[in-house]
């Protein structure tokens, strides 16, 4: 483990920020974290940004500095690698503030999953495993918007980037040693895509809890209602559920007739909401009702598996577990059970339609793409074609992968 910084500097005015950024722009790697709240707003309330190189650590107060342009110039510099842990929300804040992605980036949570630390490992657990340092948790639920911040709060915040550097160094070295750097690039494609951070109001209805229980026409109505709510929440910077909860939206979507008087009788739609937004809600509901049938959303139904799928699935999952154990990562990172089930069903020669299976066109899922395809996907297909089998090793009495006896030459 490299050296761990023992101090940090709190940045609370433009002059200090300019000096700090002049130092930071010399670095090739920066560890970044943010503190924020979003309980009462649509957009995260940005409260603090922590940033550290191998030599310095700064805690920058966005509540005290109006113009953070020097900082954004550093973070958006394409020649500097930005390291985050569980980067999604931190990157979202940066995108909202600048309109740009802080590329290139390295997410230690994603990297850790590819190296056997488990799926979505917490930062504290990862730090302890890599450095043997137990980070304090006393400030986990602190109010980061309240000023002044205490020394304990500042130390807690600084630790999030001070210890991120040795974690990054350890993971980067192991990725290189195990030839998995390209795996990380592939896993971070969604994280590094601009569309990931664009909340499309027209697609937000899929996130409404219970939406999959609606009929297609009701889904069309819900799509319009949820899109209206999303835009209204964005315009007012309010949490979407503070405007209207999911349950009333579903109740509105199920209505075959609607007026403002009927709205007032729906649980969760109080008189204030109806008075203020009734006409807008009614217009959105009507747009959904008027939607052409061919444009109704289609809900994915539970898959209907072909005959023998369950038996094939158990064989394939044993192969997945054996391969995952060999490369020391969790089996569900390598291939999910639902993905393998789809593959096992598809292999039954046209799913019972009498058509011969096209082995060059398997289901398009994660285990049949990129590094997963090389590591497990191709062998799953070989097993389904009868070119691989499982047997018990006579010495260890554990299952091993082998060729069928009829094809072995030894």
pLDDT digits (tens, 9 = 90+) for 23-73: 999 999 999 999 999 889 999 999 999 999 999 999 999 999 999 999 999
| Residues in Cβ contact with 173 at an 8 Å cutoff, skipping those fewer than 6 apart | none
User: Measuring CA to CA, which residue among 338, 332, 285 is closest to residue 309?
Assistant: 338
Upstream peptide bond of 104 is cis (omega within 30 degrees of 0): yes
3 state SS of 164: helix
Instruction: Say if residues 376 and 321 touch (Cβ distance below 8 Å).
Output: no
Comparing CA positions, the residue from 350, 264, 263 lying closest to residue 306 is: 350
309-407: CATH homologous superfamily? HRDC domain (1.10.150.80)
Calculate mean pLDDT across residues 324-330. 94
pLDDT score for 34: 97
Joined together, the tokens standing for residue 73 give 């110039």
CATH of 9-197, one of 3.20.20.70, 3.30.70.20, 3.30.420.10, 1.25.10.10: 3.30.420.10
Q: CA–CA distance from 99 to each of 87, 237, 303, 305, 396 (Å)?
A: 16, 17, 40, 44, 57
Place 360 in a pLDDT band, splitting at 50, 70 and 90.
Answer: confident
Tokens representing 187 are 């896993």
Q: Return d(Cα 220, Cα 217) in angstroms, integer.
A: 5
What are the sequence ranges of the domains in the chain? 9-197, 204-295, 309-407
At 357 the pLDDT is 74
SS3 (DSSP) at 195: helix
81-100 residue pLDDT tens: 999 999 999 999 999 999 99
Q: What confidence score (pLDDT) does residue 361 get?
A: 87
How many other β-carbons are positioned within 10 Å of the β-carbon of residue 322? 17
44-78 burial code (b ≥16 CB/10 A, e <16): bbbbbbbbbbbebbbbbbbeebeebebbbebbbbe
DSSP state of 13: S
CATH topology for the 204-295 domain: DNA polymerase; domain 1 (1.10.150)
Of all residues in the chain, the percent with pLDDT exceeding 70 is 96
pLDDT attached to residue 130: 96
DSSP label at residue 207:
G
Q: Taking Cα atoms as reference points, which of 132, 31, 130, 111 lies closest to residue 75?
A: 31
Residue 236 confidence (pLDDT) above 90: yes
Residue 351, pLDDT score: 47
The predicted structure's pLDDT at residue 321? 96
Q: Do 204-295 and 309-407 show the same overall fold?
A: yes
pTM of the model: 0.90
The pLDDT of residue 272? 87
Q: Where are the alpha helices (DSSP H) in 12-54?
A: 14-24
The values of phi and psi at residue 9, to 5°, are -125, 130
- The residue behind tokens 């006393």 is 138
Average pLDDT, the chain: 93
Q: Please state the rounded mean pLDDT for residues 245-252.
A: 96
């Amino acid at each position: 483990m490299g050296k761990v910084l023992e101090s940090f500097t709190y940045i609370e005015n433009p002059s200090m920020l300019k000096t700090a950024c002049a130092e930071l722009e010399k670095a090739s790697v920066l560890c970044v974290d943010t503190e924020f709240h979003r309980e009462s707003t649509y957009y995260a309330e940005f409260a603090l940004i922590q940033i550290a190189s191998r030599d310095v650590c700064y805690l920058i107060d966005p509540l005290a500095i109006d113009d953070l342009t020097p900082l954004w110039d550093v973070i958006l510099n394409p020649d500097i690698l930005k390291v985050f842990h569980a980067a999604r929300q931190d990157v979202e804040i940066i995108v909202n503030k600048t309109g740009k992605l802080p590329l290139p980036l390295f997410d230690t949570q994603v990297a850790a999953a590819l190296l056997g630390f488990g799926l979505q490992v917490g930062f504290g657990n990862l730090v302890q495993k890599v450095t043997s340092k137990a980070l304090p948790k006393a400030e986990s639920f602190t109010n980061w918007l309240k000023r002044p911040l205490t020394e304990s709060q500042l130390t807690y915040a600084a630790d999030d980037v001070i210890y991120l550097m040795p974690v990054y160094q350890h993971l980067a070295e192991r990725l290189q040693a195990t030839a998995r750097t390209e795996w990380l690039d592939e896993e971070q494609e969604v994280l590094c895509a601009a569309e990931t951070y664009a909340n499309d109001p027209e697609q937000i209805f899929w996130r409404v809890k219970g939406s999959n229980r609606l009929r297609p026409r009701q889904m069309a109505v819900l799509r319009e209602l949820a899109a209206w709510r999303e835009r209204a929440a964005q315009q007012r910077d309010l949490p979407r559920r503070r405007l209207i909860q999911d349950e009333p939206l579903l109740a509105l979507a199920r209505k075959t007739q609607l007026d403002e008087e009927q709205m007032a009788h729906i649980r969760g739609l109080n008189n204030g909401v109806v008075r203020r937004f009734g006409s807008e809600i009614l217009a959105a509901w009507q747009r959904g009702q008027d939607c052409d049938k061919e444009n109704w959303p289609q809900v994915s139904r539970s898959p209907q598996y072909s005959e023998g799928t369950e038996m094939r699935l158990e064989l394939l999952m044993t192969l997945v577990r054996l391969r995952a154990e060999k490369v020391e990562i969790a089996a569900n990172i390598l291939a999910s059970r639902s993905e393998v089930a789809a593959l096992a069903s598809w292999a039954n020669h046209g799913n019972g339609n009498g058509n011969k299976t096209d082995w060059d066109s398997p289901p398009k899922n994660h285990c049949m793409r990129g590094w997963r395809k090389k590591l497990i996907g191709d062998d799953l297909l070989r097993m389904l074609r009868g070119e691989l089998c499982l047997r018990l090793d006579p010495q260890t009495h554990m299952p091993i992968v082998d060729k069928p006896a009829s094809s072995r030459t030894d």
